[in-house]
Every structure is written in structure tokens, then in C-alpha cells.
Amino acid sequence: MSEQGFFTEATSAEVVISRNAKARDARLAEVMAILTRHLHAAVKEIEPTEAEWFEAIRFLTATGQMCTDWRQEFILLSDVLGVSMLVDAINNRKPSGASESTVLGPFHIADAPELPMGSDICLDRKGEPMLVRGAIRSTDGTPLANAKIDVWQANDEGFYDVQQKGIQPDFNLRGVFRTGADGAYWFKGVKPRFYPIPDDGPVGRLLAALGRHPYRPAHLHYIIEAEGHARLITHIFDPDDPYIRSDAVFGVKESLLAKFDRISDPEKIAEAGFDRPFFLVEHDFILAPG
């Protein structure tokens, strides 16, 4: 189709693509060509009425208007459509045996305090205590010394500290740890709870219209870095959570399930440094060289 081709229903995509032939960036031209073909094909298959198309534009407009410095409704839309996880999967293909990644999430803080290994990151002592432990290793089984482990989580009510300023202490349920020569890590926290993604905007209304809930199953966040290895951004999930098979943002992977065992044996409670029953979570992470 030449640049001067006339627009028809049959030739719509190729006419639009031909007009972009002089794009200054080859990658932009490639991306726009693919998007144009798929968008035009979808419109031809759906055959929307003009009223339906206007409603779609109104939805996208409302999505943009909901965005602020602290809330990105388009990222939320990407999340609930599974696109965020697909982009993550494409950009984080792992060799066999390496731990899988998942989405970062919106509540990471870059300057969380570095703490001695074994510290309790629950500063307000609310909720059911939890001990998390494991090891950081390379794919060949080598323990990774001085690996940096950045962890954060929601509290027992499903809120992060940044969501409850003045209610939770600053840096509650956050911490950075460094492994020793054996690659082992351990810290104390509180059993997290499932929580909803923000559902008071257009994305939430879309979920409701689709008959979907807005909940994420209980999880712990990790960013793990070690010299000579690819950075790992991931979660571990409670397999017994009621939303484990229906995460609103599709972040759950089977390899990231970690059993939350309730320990009530008095000897084990004392050994762990607690004064009441606690949850034990054990999970190792394998980093890919890179």
C-alpha cells in the first residue's frame, strides 16, 4: 500500500501504517505498526457502535484523570489486564532452577533502614508474629554472601505503613538485610493479610462490571541483589489464602508459594524468641548469574 492509498474498511491498518513510514525511530515505527494492526483487527471483530466507542474513550479519559503523583490508574489497568505480569515475564526469563520474579507493587520505599540479621520489622507489635527464614544461593548451589535483601509487607489488616501515616510507625514492616558467608537470612514480622487494590476509580468499576474482585492474596515482597547475579524482584505467597487462585493482578506463581506453618510448641516458641504461637515461613531464593 502506497503512502497515498485511500482509507477503506479493508485497508485501514495498512493505510495508517504507511503514513508512519518516515518515523525517525525504527523501533517506534515497528511498535506502532504492530499496535495498529491488532487494534484495527479488534475493532473489525468487535464492530462497536459509535456510542460504545465513545464510552471506551470516556473510560480512558477517566483513567487518566484519576492519575496523581501518588496513584497511577493506568498501571492499575495494566495490572488487572495481566499486561504488567506479561511484561515482567518477558523481561525476566530465568534459567532453569532460578527463582521466578513478579511485579514490584506500588509501596516500595528505596531508603528503608538496614537492620541486623534476625531483626523484627514489626515495630508496633500488632498481629500474629512470624519468623521468615531461608537461604540465598546461585543456580550452581553456591551460597551468596553479602546478598542484599530488601523486604516489606502489609500488616495484619492489609495496609502498608505509607497508607496509614500517623497510625503505623514509619518504616513499619520494612527492612534491609545482608547475608553472611552461608547465604542464610532470617527476620521477624507479622502474618500479612490479603488486601484490595484501589477500586474507587474507573479500573475498580471495570472489575465490578466484569464480576471480578479487587483482592491480592497475602504476600511478602522481596528485592534481592548479589554481586555477579541478576536482581530479583519477587513475592512469596500464603498458599492457604482465600484469593490465592484469583489474584487481581495475576502475580501468583506456583514456585512462589511458601507454607505459613503455625507453631504452638512451647519449646520452639522460646527458641524463636517469641512469647506466644507464631507462624514459620521457610523459603530459599536462587539467583541467576548475570
Q: Please compute, for residue 7, the number of CA atoms within 13 A of its CA located in the half-sphere on the CB side.
A: 6
Domain assignment present for residue 54? The answer is: no
Residues paired with residue 84 on neighbouring β-strands, in sequence order: none
Mean pLDDT in residue range 206-226: 98
SS3 144: coil
pLDDT digits (tens, 9 = 90+) for 118-149: 999 999 999 999 999 999 999 999 999 999 99
Mean pLDDT in residue range 7-30: 96
149 and 8 together in one domain: no
5 and 119 together in one domain: no
Mean pLDDT in residue range 38-60: 98
Cell of 285: 531464593
Domain assignment present for residue 153? The answer is: yes
Domain assignment present for residue 156? The answer is: yes
Cell of 280: 514459620
Confidence of residue 2 (pLDDT cuts 50, 70, 90): very low
107 and 185 together in one domain: yes
17 and 152 together in one domain: no
174 and 274 together in one domain: yes
Domain assignment present for residue 190? The answer is: yes
User: pLDDT > 70: what percent of the chain?
Assistant: 99
3 pLDDT higher than 70? no
Domain encompassing residue 26? 1-47
31 and 125 together in one domain: no
Residue 270 CB neighbour total at 10 angstroms:
10
43 and 171 together in one domain: no
Question: What's the pTM value of the predicted model, to 2 decimals?
Answer: 0.91
Confidence of residue 4 (pLDDT cuts 50, 70, 90): low
Cell of 186: 532470617
